[in-house]
Structure 1
Amino acid sequence: MVAEGVRDVLEERRLEVLRAIVEDFVTSNEPVGSKALAERHALGVSPATVRNDMAALEEDGFITQPHTSAGRIPTDKGYRLFVDRLSGVKPLSRAERRAIQNFLEGALDLDDVVRRSVRLLAQLTRQVAVVQYPSLTSSRVRHIEVVQISAGRLLIVMITDAARVEQRIVDVGEPVDEDTVAELRMILNRALGGRRLSDAAAAAASLPEEVGEEAGPGLRTQLTALATVLIETLVERQEERIMLAGTANLTRSALDFSDSLRLVLEALEEQVVLLKLIGWAREPGTVTVRIGRETDVDALRSTAVVATGYGRGAAALGGMGVVGPKRMDYPGTMSAVWAVANYVGEVLGAE
């Protein structure tokens, strides 16, 4: 019987051997042998002991031998243990953090924030980057602006708390004056300001009746026209939106996908698949990794997904992440995803 202290030492040493195998395989894409492992890493034991540790790791399903007389490569189970035993997200350098912050702070609007974020994430990780627009299920109406553009035409602008902007021109029929425009603006903001977008359509529909008879038929007619356009806007925008970048990066790792690269590319064209990949990682500050079959997408069994949520504090606005081969730099990728999500949350959460 092996004493508990000795067993702990063996487990820690074998974890170090597994870590070394993962790191070497990620770098070289070649099976790793015991002699090379002992020479490249300060494991403190002989090649013979490393061979014994590798045999134990293989028996437990953490590594495998791809063909006879070859070294070993990690299995999905081995990658999973490696990721689970990481001490935390590796911090980026001060220069890297500053570069990300400057790049994102230069964004002009929500579309620009998402576009910059997905491009940056693809460049930092050299993987396929996926960024979800702020989810309408969690967004709220921040402000509604009403601007007169001609005697009987108004521009209505809806701004969400995630900087999403929707604007429409509304024909209200009869000419309106500045006082009426100001009153319409006040009524809309009082009724809809702070509401979730998922609830705002119903609130807008009831507005003409709620203003009461004392408001006069003219104001109710104009309010009805504005409410109708707002409802149409809210209903049309209920779909979730995704932006993708860096698909060409997969070609750098074509050997990792063998015959499945086409299937991976086809899967990434499906928005429902992309939403599923990042849908389970919505908590800001927590990076989640799914490897191989854990993605629950048959076509992506040869990939790994690193994802997290972004938002202000604990409130998630959306998700983002990267898709790449299982043979990826997990510490570096997790760090990049976390950093970009953190800055996106700050940019979109800023008042």
Structure 2
Amino acid sequence: MDDRKLEVLRAIVEGYVATHEPVGSKTVVENQRLSVSAATVRNDMAYLEELGYIHQPHTSAGRIPTDKGYRLFVDRLGKIKPLSAAERRAVHRLLGEAIDLDDVVLRTVRLLSQLTHQVAVVQYPSLSRSRVRHLELVSMSPRRLMLVMIADTGRVEQRHVELPTDTSEADVTAIRSLINEKLVGQPLSETPPLIYALADECRPELRTTVEALSNMLLETLVERRDERLAVAGAANLTRTDFEGGLRSILEALEEEVVLMQLLGHVDHTAMLQVRIGDENENANFHATSVVATGYGAGTPVGNMGVVGPTRMDYPGTIAAVRAVARYVSEILEQNQ
């Protein structure tokens, strides 16, 4: 695969994405300013077609990329289209005005959808990747507490705890000091042994109360694995005719488990991933591509990305996902 053939493939991909029409040899020569004849380009196109990178939808038509062609195009991208000055200003303005984590996530998912004209999906920071910033206890009645956990990502979890005995304000203050002393700054994934030990480290008369609170802490910080997602821009999919229809894609987008699988697992690398066509495990998304990456201050705490047709503007989409993820990471770092 020499450079000229790669340029021919690039021209076909970019032309098809821009016009939604098959691309012919004459168009390739004109748009790429190749110093070769249309006949040479046709030979290159025949070569690319033989290897499965492009195909001819019908006789006498130009060529369109296959999933294999899109993959080679993405893998050989020399440049990522940068965001325009106006787009960068919009990112800074809209996200910079967010007032809390929920607002950050909702603004982010809308912004990604607007920038890419695709379906945007943003995972709230995962509890399993967070640290405890503060634990607050509020007495609602002598036998009822409200537990508020604030993670270093800004995520807030709130639960009510029913107590076996009456508990005074002084006791609540003592318990609050104990749990913050033992848990603040700890990764949530490492808190179980510390929580189990709380009942042994409090005054004997508070043991039953602390045990009840410990059970709720374990459920809130450790056992709960529900991950929250925000989605925007599903209407953008109606601009494309999907093979097999749009309904199955829209139905799949309503399933949070499916969306989590699309975004992938949060890992330590935060590397951007592009999955094209049947590279997506779920058969409902074999006509789509997913561009996703992790975000977080230092260590990724969540994923975000977009879902759209395989015929998408990959350079622009990759640039938008990277830029927005980077800015959200900066916001989380500033708020730590």
User: Is 1:228 aligned to residue 239 of structure 2?
Assistant: no
CA distance in 2: counterparts of 1:88 and 1:142, whole angstroms: 40
Report if the CA contact (8 A) 1:289-1:305 is conserved.
Answer: yes
Please point out which of 40, 53, 63 is paired with 2:31. 40
- 2:280 aligns with 295
> Which amino acid in the other structure matches residue 227 of structure 2?
E
TM norm structure 2: 0.91
Report if the CA contact (8 A) 2:128-2:222 is conserved.
Answer: no
> Which amino acid in the other structure matches residue 239 of structure 1?
D
User: Is 1:329 aligned to residue 327 of structure 2?
Assistant: no
- 2:122 aligns with 131
CA RMSD of superposed structures (Å): 2.2
1:163 CA drift (Å): 0.9
Structure 1 window deviating more from structure 2 (148-157 vs 131-140): it is: 148-157
Report if the CA contact (8 A) 1:281-1:288 is conserved.
Answer: no
CA distance in 1: counterparts of 2:76 and 2:266, whole angstroms: 19
Rate the CA distance shift 1:285–1:195 in 2: closer, same or farther, 3 A: closer
- 1:347 aligns with 331
1:265 CA drift (Å): 1.6
- The 5 Å alignment of 1:13-32 reads 13-32=4-23
1:149 CA drift (Å): 5.3
- Please list the CA deviations of residues 25-80 of structure 1 after superposition, one character each: whole Å capped at 9, or x if unmatched: 00111111111222233112221111111111112211111111111001111111
- 1:320 aligns with 304
- The 5 Å alignment of 1:140-289 reads 140-148=131-139, 154-170=145-161, 172=163, 173-174=165-166, 176-178=168-170, 180-211=171-202, 215-217=203-205, 219-234=206-221, 237-253=224-240, 255=241, 257-280=242-265, 282=267, 286-289=271-274
- Please list the CA deviations of residues 76-115 of structure 1 after superposition, one character each: whole Å capped at 9, or x if unmatched: 1111111011124333234322321221122222222211
Report if the CA contact (8 A) 2:132-2:188 is conserved.
Answer: yes
**What SS class does the counterpart of residue 143 from structure 1 fall into?**
strand
1:227 CA drift (Å): 2.5
TM norm structure 1: 0.87
Structure 1 window deviating more from structure 2 (104-113 vs 157-166): it is: 104-113
**What SS class does the counterpart of residue 312 from structure 1 fall into?**
coil
CA distance in 2: counterparts of 1:90 and 1:24, whole angstroms: 16
Unaligned runs of 5+ in 1: 1-9
CA distance in 2: counterparts of 1:127 and 1:153, whole angstroms: 46
Report if the CA contact (8 A) 1:283-1:308 is conserved.
Answer: no
1:299 CA drift (Å): 1.6
Identical amino acids, percent of aligned pairs: 57
1:129 CA drift (Å): 0.8
Structure 1 window deviating more from structure 2 (153-162 vs 164-173): it is: 164-173
- 1:49 aligns with 40
- Please list the CA deviations of residues 231-251 of structure 1 after superposition, one character each: whole Å capped at 9, or x if unmatched: 343366321222211111100
Unaligned runs of 5+ in 2: none
CA distance in 2: counterparts of 1:283 and 1:235, whole angstroms: 20
> Which amino acid in the other structure matches residue 250 of structure 1?
L
**What SS class does the counterpart of residue 316 from structure 1 fall into?**
coil
Report if the CA contact (8 A) 1:128-1:322 is conserved.
Answer: yes
1:260 CA drift (Å): 2.9
Report if the CA contact (8 A) 2:270-2:300 is conserved.
Answer: no
CA distance in 1: counterparts of 2:266 and 2:6, whole angstroms: 27
CA distance in 2: counterparts of 1:15 and 1:306, whole angstroms: 22
CA distance in 2: counterparts of 1:130 and 1:22, whole angstroms: 25
Report if the CA contact (8 A) 2:266-2:301 is conserved.
Answer: no
CA distance in 2: counterparts of 1:103 and 1:71, whole angstroms: 42
CA distance in 2: counterparts of 1:135 and 1:220, whole angstroms: 31
Structure 1 window deviating more from structure 2 (181-190 vs 230-239): it is: 230-239
Which 4+ runs in 1 deviate beyond 6 A?
Answer: none
Rate the CA distance shift 1:309–1:168 in 2: closer, same or farther, 3 A: same
Report if the CA contact (8 A) 2:127-2:221 is conserved.
Answer: no
1:139 CA drift (Å): 1.6
> Which amino acid in the other structure matches residue 237 of structure 1?
R
Structure 1 window deviating more from structure 2 (242-251 vs 102-111): it is: 102-111
